């Protein structure tokens, strides 16, 4: 058997390669689908977890102490890092055939005495201790799944918790206040992914909500590039922009966050 292989090898060097047939292409596509768990339809539930780091800055305005005007936030990531106390970020997904459920949780605790713009001239220094948390739960349907391309349409809601302690100091007086707020935003969303060749793919996500029910408006956009390490693990990098404009009584939270993301997805 070994000796018989030599004539075949010598012939292969001189002969032109056989053209790929449609059957070969279909088989190659099937292999790609089989390697990507997100493209498998086997009438079973598939679960995945996504851990991520969001290196975001924050800009906008917030009003915690009613009598005083709002303070402005100018916190690029360098200042956020100096103010950092604790954070947790993670997501999970369940899918059966075309039905998809997505959940996301973030909690961020910051204490900043820089990047806080004071509008009241009676005060010179400000310290803001804030805790924000968002839980998002969405369900939807995969409307496109073809040759590695997939598009999901989703709807659900996001629960927001916010607590802030603000201290204002001036040469003659000081002022401090604490505010707690929680509210619910209905959300509609879409996400998609497209193969880039090999183990690479590009993904995008966007949602919008509130529209006067909860927030005046809230929306976000996420885009990234993903690399499949193996059939269970995917590493990604991208950018996320998240905006919340909530105004209720004497409380205002009009803030946007923006920065790069690093994700690690594991199929269960």
What is 44-267's CATH number? 2.40.128.90
Q: Are 190 and 210 in contact (CB under 8 A)?
A: no
At 65 the pLDDT is: 81
| Structure tokens that stand for 157 in this block | 């809601």
At 200 the pLDDT is: 96
Q: What is the mean pLDDT of the chain?
A: 86
| Structure tokens that stand for 205 in this block | 């996500």
| Structure tokens that stand for 251 in this block | 């409380």
Tell which residue, 163, 165, 167, has the closest CA to residue 126.
Answer: 167
Give the DSSP per-residue string, 25-71. HHHHHHHHHHH-GGG--SSSEEEEEEEEEE--EEEEEEE-STTSPPE
The separation between CA 137 and the C-alpha centre of its own chain, rounded to angstroms, equals: 13
Alpha-carbon gap, residue 240 to 226, rounded angstroms: 14
Q: Are 93 and 47 in contact (CB under 8 A)?
A: yes
Alpha-carbon gap, residue 74 to 34, rounded angstroms: 47
The alpha carbon dihedral of 247, 253, 254, 259 has a sign of negative
Given a cut of 50, the residues of the chain with pLDDT beneath it are 1-34
Give the DSSP per-residue string, 203-224. EEEEEEE-TTSSSSEEEEEEEE
The separation between CA 256 and the C-alpha centre of its own chain, rounded to angstroms, equals: 14
Beta-sheet pairing, 84-96 with 71-75: unpaired
At 30 the pLDDT is: 43
Alpha-carbon gap, residue 126 to 73, rounded angstroms: 11
Alpha-carbon gap, residue 119 to 136, rounded angstroms: 34
């Amino acid at each position: 058997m070994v000796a018989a292989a030599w004539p075949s090898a010598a012939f292969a060097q001189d002969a032109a390669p056989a053209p790929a047939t449609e059957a070969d292409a279909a088989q190659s596509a099937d292999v790609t689908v089989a390697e990507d768990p997100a493209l498998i339809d086997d009438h079973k539930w598939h679960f995945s977890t996504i851990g991520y780091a969001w290196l975001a800055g924050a800009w906008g305005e917030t009003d915690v102490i009613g009598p005083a005007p709002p303070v402005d936030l100018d916190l690029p990531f360098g200042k956020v890092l100096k103010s950092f106390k604790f954070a947790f970020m993670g997501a999970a997904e369940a899918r059966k055939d075309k039905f998809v459920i997505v959940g996301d949780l973030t909690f961020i605790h910051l204490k900043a005495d820089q990047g806080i713009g004071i509008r009241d001239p009676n005060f010179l220094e400000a310290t803001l201790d804030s805790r924000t948390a968002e839980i998002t739960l969405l369900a939807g349907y995969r409307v496109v799944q073809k040759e590695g391309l997939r598009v999901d349409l989703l709807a659900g809601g996001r629960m927001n918790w916010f607590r802030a302690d603000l201290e204002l100091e001036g040469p003659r007086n000081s002022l401090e206040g604490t505010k707690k707020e929680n509210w619910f935003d209905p959300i509609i969303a879409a996400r998609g992914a497209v193969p880039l060749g090999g183990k690479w793919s590009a993904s995008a996500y966007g949602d919008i909500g509130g529209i006067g029910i909860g927030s005046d408006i809230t929306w976000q956009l996420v885009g990234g590039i993903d690399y499949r390490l193996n059939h269970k693990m995917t590493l990604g990098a991208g950018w996320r922009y998240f905006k919340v404009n909530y105004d209720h009584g004497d409380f205002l939270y009009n803030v946007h966050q923006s920065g790069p993301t690093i994700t690690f997805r594991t199929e269960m």
